[in-house]
Amino acid sequence: MAEYRVVVKKVPDVGGLGVREKLDGPAKIGELLCDGFAGLAKVGAVVGGAPVAVYHDPEFCADCIDVEIVFPVPAWVRGPLATPGGRTLEPRTVPGGEVAVILHVGVYETIGESYQILADWMGEYGYRAGGPPRELYVRLPWDPGPAVTEVRQPVDRVTG
């Protein structure tokens, strides 16, 4: 197993256009990303940073994923914006703040290992979840090289 390193850092708000949907499996997340990119391409918009997924379910359910995807876009790109898949991208903001972060390199099928390492680390170092987990897609599967995902968990310090 690769060596993983967890850090705590402050991240800014991520604003852009996005969509929230309940999906019936992890493969649908890729479809949602592709549809969002295609909708933005229709208006000539280039994404101005890594897309962010926010997982709103208190407990992860692989068959009913409540996910919000936000695509950072230039200020001139305004929503609502229709996608080829019939979705609507609307203005959204993922709040910033203090997050515990682990970098996951490789296939999404093993990302659960990174989440477990992150959860174990938080317990050991006195943190608890302070909001829904997020994934920042630094390099997507269709980009050259392995996929790179920054798993971000908003955190609060546990006080005795």
Query: Is the alpha carbon torsion for 51, 79, 27, 114 positive or negative?
Result: positive
Whether residue 4 is predicted with pLDDT greater than 60 in this model: the reply is yes
Distance of CA 105 to the CA centre of its chain: 14
User: Which has the higher per-residue pLDDT, 145 or 23?
Assistant: 23
pLDDT tens, 95-146?
Answer: 999 999 999 998 888 898 999 999 999 999 999 999 999 999 998 767 778 8
Q: Which CATH architecture has domain 6-157?
A: Alpha-Beta Barrel (3.20)
What pLDDT score was predicted for residue 160?
64
Distance of CA 78 to the CA centre of its chain: 21
pLDDT tens, 68-77?
Answer: 999 999 888 8
Rounded to whole angstroms, how far apart are CA atoms 6 and 104?
Answer: 11
Mean of the per-residue pLDDT values of the chain: 91
**What are the residue boundaries of the structural domains of the chain, listed by start?**
6-157
pLDDT tens, 35-92?
Answer: 999 999 998 888 888 999 999 988 877 788 999 999 999 888 888 999 999 999 999 9
Whether residue 1 is predicted with pLDDT greater than 50 in this model: the reply is no
What pLDDT score was predicted for residue 46?
83
What pLDDT score was predicted for residue 3?
59
Rounded to whole angstroms, how far apart are CA atoms 32 and 144?
Answer: 20
